[in-house]
Amino acid sequence: MTKWFLFKLYGLRKLPLSVLTGFKIIELSETKCVTRVKYKYLNKNPFRSTFWAVLGMTAELSTGAYALLATQGKDESVAVILVSTQAEFIKKATDVSTFTCTDWHEFDTAADKAIATNEPQIATGKTIGINSAGETIAHFDFTWSFKKRDQI
């Protein structure tokens, strides 16, 4: 089984639009999370560019993967939820759009602090979208809340 196949299975269960739109994680490490989506028939708008919501889902995945990863392997269970989004669209997305987030430590620190203080913590991931020519197409900021779950 390949990682691609596992992501498709996960996508069918948790993110069904990932299968339709084709967005995917290209790289996930403590250095960066890179996601990508192609301009195609199901993703387009009437203006011959990628629909803004598809760009938003792909951008969110680049920060959301970090948010979920930061909750894994902790001694306590941590809930995570998206609380705020801000976007700026710079250029039409007419081919492959790639989003990169490098804020891993923000998320890991917030999850650890939520456990240590028993208080909700927030972390904001900034992700920058580029096209295949390397031109910036969009900036997104996603703010996530981390909260230690009560033990039953």
Domain map (residue ranges) of the chain: 21-148
The pLDDT value recorded for residue 11 is: 57
Query: What six digits make up the tokens of 2?
Result: 């390949």
Count of C-beta atoms within a 10 Å radius of residue 88: 9
In CATH, the number for domain 21-148 is: 3.10.129.10
Of the listed ranges 11-15, 18-22, 51-55, 103-107, the one predicted with least confidence: 11-15
**pTM of the predicted protein model:** 0.88
Q: How confident is the model at residue 22 (pLDDT cuts 50, 70, 90)?
A: confident
pLDDT at 4 over 60: no
> 3-state DSSP call for residue 55?
helix
Count of C-beta atoms within a 10 Å radius of residue 62: 31
Q: Which residue has the higher pLDDT, 13 or 136?
A: 136
The pLDDT value recorded for residue 7 is: 56
Q: Which residue has the higher pLDDT, 97 or 20?
A: 97
The pLDDT value recorded for residue 150 is: 82
